[in-house]
Amino acid sequence: MKIATFNINGIKARVQALSDWLDDAAPDVALLQEIKSIDENFPRELFEEKGYNVETHGQKSFNGVAILSKYPLEDVVRGLPGDESDEQARWIEATVVGSRAVRICGLYLPNGNPAPGPKYDYKLAWMERLEARARALLEAEEPALMAGDYNVIPQDEDAARPEVWHTDALAMPQTRAAYRRILNLGFTEAFRTRVPGPGHYSFWDYQAGAWDRNDGIRIDHLLLTPQCADLLRDTGIDAEIRGREKPSDHVPVWIEIEA
């Protein structure tokens, strides 16, 4: 089973780029972030025609997450537990039933800038709720993963110019500590466990020719429970699509698991 995460930066603007990538990469499951669309306006038929089941958790203008899956999706849950007043659409999870069942969570973690400030407080509070959900997933002792745009640069090697990020919400010590607390519960971050060293990114800003200069950061991650990590076969980043027509500023990150 091939599972990818992809922040598409707007479904309306990305219909062609997303369709082309799906045809090329043929993931069984695609976790999408920043659909920037209400559920009613998501062009689900387009993906159903390609053989995907579609579940969305959208909102007007901003945020919004979705799951495309060639396998049936069961027990869909929308919204990260822990704060009933949170109206931002940043979390969706479902059980994907392939040769075995895998619990799959798609997330769009808050950016948090400017930091410090209320937006950063929201980011840290959201990460605390994520940690609670992460603990529950581990306690189930089943194959499960949490994947998406974490808006976290885990280490300096995950940025082309690490020094410029040290005061940014994506890489501040508190951010990295909160991310590590979750990892250290027992998750395996798929890409980094297989590919060491600098130079591997999942986001390049639209500005200042960041892609041409390979001035990127790695902020899209797949975190696997031990039972899921045991199934890991391969992982990669589809960086080349950043150079195509009308690209998202993120690119897909994927894993292949035995499931």
Partner DNA sequence: ATGACAATCAGAGATTGA
Binding site for DNA (CB under 7 A): 7, 9-14, 34, 36-37, 60-62, 110-111, 113, 119, 149, 151, 170, 203, 205-208, 217, 219, 246, 249
Given 52, 108, 150, 201, the catalytic residue: 108
Of 220, 128, 113, the C-alpha closest to 164 is 113
CA 173 from centre of chain: 21
Neighbours of 76 (CB within 10 A): 14
CB of 191 to DNA, least distance (A): 17
CB of 183 to DNA, least distance (A): 19
Given 28, 149, 158, 220, the catalytic residue: 149
CB of 31 to DNA, least distance (A): 14
Active-site residue 52, yes or no? no
What is the arrangement of strands in the sheet containing 232-237, beginning at the earlier edge strand? Answer: 53-57, 65-69, 29-33, 2-7, 253-257, 232-237
Q: Which is nearer to DNA, 10 or 82 (CB)?
A: 10
Q: Which is nearer to DNA, 110 or 143 (CB)?
A: 110
The two counts, helices (H) then strands (E), for the chain are 6, 14
Q: Which is nearer to DNA, 127 or 259 (CB)?
A: 127
Of 45, 10, 4, the C-alpha closest to 22 is 4
Which long-range CB contacts under 8 A does 44-53 form with residues at least 24 apart? 46/15, 46/19, 47/22, 50/19, 50/22, 50/23, 52/22
Sign of CA dihedral 132, 134, 139, 144: positive
Active-site residue 206, yes or no? no
Conformation bin of residue 147: beta by default, left when phi > 0, alpha when psi is -120 to 50? beta
Tokens coding 198: 């600098």
Give me the active site residues, please: 108, 149
